Amino acid sequence: VPLFFMISGALLLRPQYNTTPKKMLKKILRVVVIMLFWSFVYAIFTCEPLNIKCLLYQTIKGPFHFWFFEFLIGLYLLTPIFKAIIYYKNGILIQYYIALFLCFGILVSSLQAIDFCHKWVMDVTSKVNIELMGFSGYFFMGYYMSEKSFNVSTSLVIVIFILSVILQGIISYNINLLYSSDKWWVMTFLQCSCIFLITKKLYCTSGGG
C-alpha cells in the first residue's frame, strides 16, 4: 500500500499534470463511485439477513480493507496544496516535509513498534503531534524519488532490498514487536523505496523516460 501511494505521488505531483481543485474533485467522485459499487457487491455477500437496511448500511460503511480509499480521497483533496509546496523556492519545502516524515512518520513509529520502547516513546512523542506525516509522506517520497537522479546501481538496490527482508526476519524473530509489517515500520519503508527505485530504473531503461 505505501508503494501504491508513492506511485500516485510520482504521477499526480509531476509538473506536467494539471492538479487544479476542480480536476481533483472529479477524480474523487470517480473513486467514490468505484468504492460504493464494490462496497455494494461485498454487502450482497456479507449481509445477514439480506435486506435493504443492511445493504445500505454495509455499502456506506464498506469492508475494512477498503480503508485505503479513504486515505486516497484525503490525498486527492490535498494534492493542489502539495503542488504549491513543490513549487515553493525550488522545492525546499518538500525536503523539509520528507525530513519530518522520516522522523515522525518512520523513525518514531518504528521505535513504537518495539515492545520495550513503546511506552517511553509514546509518552515523549505524544507531546508533538504531526498530523500530516501519514501517507502524504509516501506521496511526496514517490514524487521526490521519481524526479531526483540517484547514482546507485540497480544491483546494489536489490542487495539492500534482500538484506532488509532478511534483517526484518531476524528482528521479528528475536525481538517482541507490536507490529513488523506496518506501513510505518522502517523495513517496510526501505523495501518500498527499493522496489520504487528498481521499477524506475527498469522503466527508464526500457525507454519510458
pLDDT value for 202: 83
pLDDT value for 92: 85
pLDDT value for 116: 74
Q: Cβ distance 110 to 185 under 8 Å? A: yes
Q: Cβ distance 94 to 144 under 8 Å? A: yes
DSSP 140-156: HHHHHHHHS-----HHH
Q: Is residue 97 helix, strand or coil?
A: helix
The residue assigned the cell 448500511 is 57
pLDDT value for 133: 65
CA distances from residue 59 to 36, 43, 55, 92 in whole angstroms, order as listed? 6, 6, 6, 43
From first to last of its 209 residues, the chain has per-residue pLDDT tens of 899 999 999 999 988 888 889 999 999 999 999 999 999 998 888 888 888 888 898 888 888 888 888 888 989 999 999 998 888 887 789 889 899 889 888 888 888 788 777 676 766 666 565 666 678 899 999 999 998 888 888 899 999 999 999 998 888 888 877 765 577 788 889 999 999 999 988 877 666 65
